[in-house]
Amino acid sequence: MTDTVSEIRDAKAAALRMAVLDGGVKRAAIEAMAAAVEANRGAILEANAEDVRDAEGKVQAEILSRLRLNDSKISDMVSSLRDVAALPDPVGETMSATELDEGLVLYQIRCPIGLIGVIFESRPDVVPQIMSLCLKSGNSVAFKGGSEAGRSNRVLFGILRDAAVSAGVPGEAFVLMETREAISDILKLDGYIDLLIPRGSYSFVRYIQENTRIPVLGHSAGVCHVYVDAEADMEKAFRVALDSKIQYPAACNAAEKLLVHSAAARYFLPRMADLFAANGVEMRVDGRCRPHLLGFDAKDASEEDWYAEYDSRIIAIRMVDSADEAIGFINSHGSHHTDCIVTENAETQRRFARMVDSADVFINASTRFADGYRFGKGAEVGISTGKIHARGPMGMEGLTIYKYVLVGGGQTVGEYSGPDAKKYKHRHVDSKYRL
Amino acid sequence: MTDTVSEIRDAKAAALRMAVLDGGVKRAAIEAMAAAVEANRGAILEANAEDVRDAEGKVQAEILSRLRLNDSKISDMVSSLRDVAALPDPVGETMSATELDEGLVLYQIRCPIGLIGVIFESRPDVVPQIMSLCLKSGNSVAFKGGSEAGRSNRVLFGILRDAAVSAGVPGEAFVLMETREAISDILKLDGYIDLLIPRGSYSFVRYIQENTRIPVLGHSAGVCHVYVDAEADMEKAFRVALDSKIQYPAACNAAEKLLVHSAAARYFLPRMADLFAANGVEMRVDGRCRPHLLGFDAKDASEEDWYAEYDSRIIAIRMVDSADEAIGFINSHGSHHTDCIVTENAETQRRFARMVDSADVFINASTRFADGYRFGKGAEVGISTGKIHARGPMGMEGLTIYKYVLVGGGQTVGEYSGPDAKKYKHRHVDSKYRL
């Protein structure tokens, strides 16, 4: 048995103790984690500076910017930890209660999932974010970070775990794996790890999804669309399309495609092209858009452009003749992440919201709003484009499940069967059962 | 492309139309399905009689009894269909609404998953049950049944689909696969099938779980425990233990193990043994139980007995010295399905409910209550022992997920960023968005 496997096994065993941790202990532990990060800014920044020095020139600028910590990112970690500490304890909440019969009440009670595996690239701020959410929701967590962030992750993890342990949380509940082989170990541990959350590039997430039997939540691609309808308010359309593209082009929720109704194109496209040009956005367009873009610098879109995730200041623009054509195109070419319509027509809004098969369907609002913090979840575990368990920006609710607790007085199913069967009441009640 | 693959592809495409079917159409379609089953009793029973004739002598008695239909089972199908027809339409329900800011409201809206794959053995009544639940929840469904029930499934499926189509439901949404190769096709279709529900034997379900990347919900084993505590009410203990074992021994929620606190054993065991003997239940016991079972016919339990699922009139009995020992034993030897404690001590009840890591944890009630119908869900898709998406008896809620619909007036994330950032309100509101 490798070290990884034995640590994972211990973390799984600790999950049962995590599940019954007192809410006050969890809150105090996360507050201690916040204080410890605050008190160790110097050590964290120093370790991170070494990681950055080693990575410079070897990795893309985008990865380097995710890797690099500074005082403001550390302040964000501290305030995010305090936000999570202040959230209500989700464990033990009665989600529903049904009286099956007099003196026989069924409670559906929220509980942790068990052991969460998190595999991520470059971004050390994932560690405090997910560690606090797992602790608050009563789960154990095993991390495997990218080697380029090795020192940053190790220092952060140590500080956070020590703080949690000092508040009474079992230390075995937290595992940081550092070897390259750890990933292949993790992917095989479906007997121990209940849920895997990968955060990283398309190929990285696809690799995880295709090589494990553990349930995986997350997203590999973020190919988001903005559709400007014939009945769009043009001022909203300009604002939403521009923000969706440029507010943070490297984000998964940035728009990569702009679909324009043919009836709106003549007015919309030239002015939109001005805005894109002024903001350094490269346009790749279909032939039908060309006549409206005379004098603009725009490339011809290739077939691949309609599926591409650029993560940079490039946008592909296509003309459509109806909202239904836009819906069909988004469903067949997108990644079921976040797609937006700009229109004033309530019926078209509703049709788009119903028919677009994406985690987030936005009406007259930037795709960049697709984010756990902006959605009011405190922090984010990840964004799921799957259809199972949790979809879209995922907060703590994605780390919980429920159990059914049936409280009776010696009832048998025999009494409710056969010719003289007692009848079930099946009445929803307001009663709570505090686990 | 095989026929199976092209049918599955069409069913997936039809899922988008299923998702927007009017609630009235769905209700009328399921009522038409009930009427059609009622009107075709003769044809269904005839096809089934041929299946039974072919299977006799070739399959176990238990499988034969699941395969065999009769008038009363058909009446159950009809009334279950009518129950599902009467359930409220889950699609479009606003699960939560959050005002992110003035004029920017986020709705979490329940929607179907897409295409559900159901692979099952012998039991033809799975077809109307799951077909109606999928239709009601707006999903497409592809069935692969056991060959022993081939004629029964084909006749039932045809009657049900024709009835649904006559009410305006797209026929492509329903697929019945009959070839043996269909299973291996299905398992590879993770691009089309969103969720697999296998229903059958341990090895059958394990095979499915281990050979697909499609999410699988269900259970392979049902090794359920009844623990009789030192502070148990003995009358309740006898009733609950007996019913859990004998009410329907072949069911996954029947008790296979009986744990007895050493302080209760002397009084409990001899009388319990009398009841088991009177009901033809074979006992397999540990050495510590022996002295309390003098004169009874009981075998020595082997190590395998503590993990075994008998599905018949056999029970393994073991003595423990504390509720904690029972909890530890259940967590390490059980199948996380349904486990019961009999005790009057409220603190021990609560400890057991919190610490036993099973889908269903029962207090003073028979394990046989673990069932979608008894839980008040109308019908049951299956019982899940996983920790993701749905756990325990799974009704229609297991066939739905949600999407986030954000309704704004042209807002950009830029306005909420930087030094002059607008602040989010993140206020829960009662507003509904009707998809």
Put simply, whether the predicted model's pTM sits higher than 0.90 gets the answer yes
Q: Is A239 on the interface with B (CB under 8 A)?
A: yes
Provide the CATH number for the domain around residue B85: 3.40.605.10
Q: Which residues touch B11 (CB under 8 Å, ≥6 apart)?
A: B115, B140, B141, B142, B172, B173, B174, B175, B192
Q: Which of A98, A401, A432, A434 to mutate to test binding with chain B, by most B CBs within 10 Å of its CB? A: A401
Residue to test with chain B: of A355, A388, A407, most B Cβ within 10 A: A388
User: What proportion of chain B, given as a percentage, has pLDDT over 70?
Assistant: 100
Taking CA–CA distances from B253, the nearest residue in chain A reads A413
Q: Are residues A308 and A334 in the same domain?
A: yes
* A259 closest CA partner among A312, A365, A311, A334: A334
Candidate from A178-192, B68-82, B146-160, B299-313 with smallest mean pLDDT: A178-192
Nearest residue on chain B to A426, judged by CA atoms? B376
Residue B101 lies in a domain: no
CB contact residues (below 8 A), chain A span 11-50, against chain B: 16, 19-20
Q: Residue B215: list chain A partners with CB under 8 A.
A: 215, 386, 388
Q: pLDDT tens across B174-223, in order?
A: 999 988 888 888 999 988 999 999 988 888 898 998 899 899 998 889 99
Q: What is the pLDDT of residue A182?
A: 83
Are residues A162 and A185 located together in one domain of the fold?
Answer: yes
- Closest among B211, B212, B216 to B197, alpha carbons compared: B216
B233: contact with A, CB 8 A cutoff: yes
Contact B41, B205 (CB under 8 A): no
CA distance B386 to chain A (A): 8
Q: In the structure encoding, which two tokens stand for residue B428, read together?
A: 């829960």
Do A187 and A244 sit in the same domain of this protein? no
Q: Is residue B379 part of a domain?
A: no
**Which of 42-101 (A) contact B at CB < 8 A?**
92, 98, 100
| Residue A421 belongs to a domain | no
Rounded Cα distance, A124 and A63, in Å? 11
Residues of A in contact with B389 (CB under 8 A): 388-389, 401
pLDDT tens string A122-144? 889 999 999 999 999 999 999 99
Q: How many CB atoms lie within 10 A of CB B304?
A: 9
Nearest CB to A247 within list B349, B354, B412: B412
Measure in Å the smallest separation between the Cα of A408 and chain B Cα atoms: 5
pLDDT of residue A291: 96
Of B57, B322, A272, the C-alpha closest to B341 is B322
The residue of B387, B399, B434 whose CB has the most chain A CBs within 10 angstroms, and thus the best one to mutate to test that interface, is: B387
Nearest to B410 among A16, A236, A376 (CB): A236
| The last residue of a domain, from among A311, A341, A369 | A369
A331 → chain B, closest CA residue: B16
SS3 per-residue string spanning chain A:
CCHHHHHHHHHHHHHHHHCCCCHHHHHHHHHHHHHHHHHCHHHHHHHHHHHHHHHCCCCCHHHHHHHCCCHHHHHHHHHHHHHHHHCCCCCCCEEEEEEEECCEEEEEEEEECCEEEEEECCCCCHHHHHHHHHHHCCCEEEEECCHHHHHHHHHHHHHHHHHHHHCCCCHHHEEEECCCHHHHHHHHCCCCCCEEEEECCHHHHHHHHHCCCCCECCCCCCCEEEEECCCCCHHHHHHHHHHHHHCCCCCCCCEEEEEEEHHHHHHHHHHHHHHHHHCCCEEEECCCCHHHHCCCCEEECCHHHHCCCCCCCEEEEEEECCHHHHHHHHHHHCCCCEEEEECCCHHHHHHHHHHCCCCEEEEEECHHHCCCCCCCCCCCCEEECCCCCCCEEECHHHHEEEEEEEEEEEECHHHHCCCCCCCCCCEECCCCCCC
Residues A285 and A195 in one domain: no
Subunit contact B215:A402, Cβ cutoff 8 A = no
Q: What number is the average pLDDT over the span B343-372?
A: 97
- Asked if residue B50 is part of any domain, the answer here is yes
The 10 Å Cβ neighbour count of residue B262 is 15
pLDDT of A185 reads 86
Main-chain phi, psi angles of A389, to 5 degrees: 75, -65
Does residue A266 sit in the same domain as residue A213? no
Q: How many domains does chain B have?
A: 2
Amino acid at the residue B227: Y
Residues A80 and A24 grouped into a single domain: yes
| CATH number for B355 | 3.40.309.10
Say whether residue B363 is in contact with chain A using an 8 A CB cutoff.
Answer: yes
pLDDT at A285: 98
* Cα dist from B285 to B293, B309, B326, whole Å: 9, 15, 15
What residue in B sits closest to A111 (Cα-Cα)?
B354
pLDDT per residue over B224-234, tens digit each?
999 999 999 99
Estimate to the nearest angstrom the gap between the alpha carbon of B368 and the chain centroid. Answer: 13
Show the tokens assigned to B93.
């329900």
Q: Measured between CB atoms, does B235 come within 8 Å of chain A?
A: yes
Asked if A210 and A231 sit in the same domain, the reply is: no
| Locus of tokens 């989600």 | A95
Residues B205 and B261 occupy one common structural domain: no
**Residue B375 in domain:** no
Inform me whether the pLDDT recorded for B53 exceeds 90: yes
Burial of A434 (0-12, 13-18, 19+ CB in 10 A): exposed
Whether residues B358 and B270 share a domain: the answer is yes
Q: Is A215 close to B388, i.e. CB distance below 8 A? A: yes
Under 8 Å between Cβ of A343 and A231: yes
DSSP conformational letter for B115: E
Distances (CA, A) of B231 to A393, B243, B344: 47, 20, 6
- Contact criterion met (CB below 8 Å) for B285 and B298: yes
Q: Tell me if B282 is assigned to some domain.
A: yes
Interface of A with B in 123-152 (CB under 8 A): none
Q: Which of residues 261-320 of A touch B (CB under 8 A)?
A: none
Determine contact: A235 vs chain B, CB below 8 A.
Answer: yes
Question: Domain for residue B374, yes or no?
Answer: no
DSSP label at B52? H
What local confidence, expressed as pLDDT, does residue B1 receive? Answer: 58
Chains A, B: CB pairs < 8 Å: 239
Q: Which residues contact B430 (CB under 8 A, 6 or more apart)?
A: B97
pLDDT at residue A1, as a whole number: 58
CA distance linking residue B180 with residue A28, whole number of Å: 57
Pair (B307, B175) in one structural domain:
no
- Tell me: do B325 and B298 sit in the same domain: yes
- Tell me if B98 and A375 make a contact (CB, 8 A cut-off): yes
CB proximity B236 to A under 8 Å: yes
The alpha carbon dihedral of A126, A372, A186, B213 has a sign of negative
Chain B hits for A416, CB-CB cut-off 8 Å, are 374
* Structure token digits, residue B109: 């809206």
Domain that holds residue B144: 3-90+111-217+384-399
- B435 domain-assigned: no
Contact B412 A243 (CB under 8 A): yes
- Could you tell me the two tokens for B382? 């299956």
Do both A85 and A16 map to the same domain? yes
Tokens standing for residue B76: 């159950």
Q: State how far Cα A360 lies from the chain centre.
A: 12
Q: Which of A342-351, B319-328, B361-370, B426-435 has the lowest mean pLDDT?
A: B426-435
* pLDDT of res. A298: 96
What sign does the dihedral B111-B95-A138-B362 (CA atoms) show?
A: negative
10-residue stretch averages of pLDDT, chain A, 435 residues long: 86 96 97 98 97 92 88 93 93 95 97 96 90 97 94 98 98 93 88 93 88 90 97 98 96 97 98 98 97 95 97 96 98 97 97 96 98 88 94 93 97 94 94 79
